């Protein structure tokens, strides 16, 4: 891919993202998309256990508490873990657009350290769409939703079909996920995106 293809700046003919008519209402808790997901899965013992809620327009809010197993430097969150939290929050935008997409590019800025025990308050919004590309941004704050910015990101997500995961994932996990009728129902509903 060339630098132009992976730019985080939407092209001039990009369009505003559209909230799907069946998207969760603002304030509604968004469920985990997969129980074993490192970002949002309840069955992932060392995961983020990030919880996200639908926001206004095509935006979400989320929170996660930095635990001792998330540290890099003594007493501080690992930078890669903070990038994962931003990525997970950005991925939650799929719920609002009823789109299945994957991260194509994620650029993260680290503004201040995030200590173990801190709650990271995240917001994300979809800014533009161009074909299968979704341009979005996220911010993570400590000390409350209006606290100082600790991390921020700009991202490019690329819309895919559910077969992307079926064709590339490990067979055991794919079979377990596809055995869950709610997972299959959500995935197929998102593919019928008007």
Structure tokens at 129: 């769409």
Task: Give me the count of residues in the chain.
Answer: 194
Average model confidence (pLDDT) for the chain?
85
Say how far apart CA 118 and CA 126 lie, in whole Å. Answer: 26
Residue 18 has pLDDT above 50, yes or no: yes
Q: What is the pLDDT of residues 92-101, one digit of tens each?
A: 999 999 988 9
* Residues ≥6 apart with Cβ < 8 Å to 114: 66, 76, 77, 82, 120, 140, 142, 150, 151
Rounded to 5°, angle at Cα 17 from 97 and 12: 150
Is the pLDDT at 3 greater than 60? The verdict is no
Region 59-82: what's the mean pLDDT?
95
Instruction: Tell whether the model's pLDDT for residue 186 goes beyond 70.
Output: no
Q: Is 178 helix (H, G, I), strand (E, B) or coil?
A: helix
Kindly tell me if the per-residue pLDDT of 127 is higher than 80.
Answer: yes
Across 97-111, 146-160, 169-183, least confident range: 169-183
Please count the CA atoms within 13 angstroms of the CA of 23 that sit on its side-chain side. Answer: 26
Instruction: Tell me if 163 sits within 8 A of 46, measured CB to CB.
Output: no
Looking at the predicted structure, is the pLDDT value of residue 121 above 50?
A: yes
CB 81 within 8 A of CB 38: no
pLDDT of residue 49: 84
Q: What DSSP state is assigned to residue 70?
A: G
What's the confidence (pLDDT) of residue 142?
A: 97
**Which spans in the chain are helix H?**
79-91, 94-97, 163-168, 171-178, 181-191
In terms of phi and psi (left: phi > 0; alpha: psi -120 to 50; beta: otherwise), the region of 135 is: beta
């Amino acid at each position: 891919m060339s630098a132009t293809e992976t730019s985080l700046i939407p092209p001039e003919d990009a369009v505003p993202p559209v909230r799907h008519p069946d998207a969760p209402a603002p304030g509604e808790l968004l469920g985990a998309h997969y129980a074993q997901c490192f970002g949002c899965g309840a069955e992932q013992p060392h995961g983020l256990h990030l919880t996200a809620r639908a926001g206004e327009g095509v935006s979400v809010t989320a929170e996660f508490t930095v635990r001792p197993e998330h540290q890099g430097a003594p007493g501080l969150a690992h930078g890669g873990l903070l990038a994962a939290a931003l990525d997970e929050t950005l991925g939650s935008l799929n719920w609002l657009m009823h789109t299945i997409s994957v991260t194509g590019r994620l650029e993260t800025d680290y503004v201040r350290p995030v200590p173990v025990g801190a709650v990271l308050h995240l917001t994300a919004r979809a800014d533009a769409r161009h074909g299968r590309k979704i341009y979005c941004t996220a911010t993570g704050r400590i000390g409350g939703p209006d606290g100082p910015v600790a991390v921020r990101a700009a991202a490019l997500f690329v819309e895919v079909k559910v077969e992307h995961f079926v064709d590339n994932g490990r067979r055991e996990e794919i079979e377990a996920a596809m055995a869950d009728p709610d997972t299959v129902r959500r995935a197929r509903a998102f593919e019928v995106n008007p």
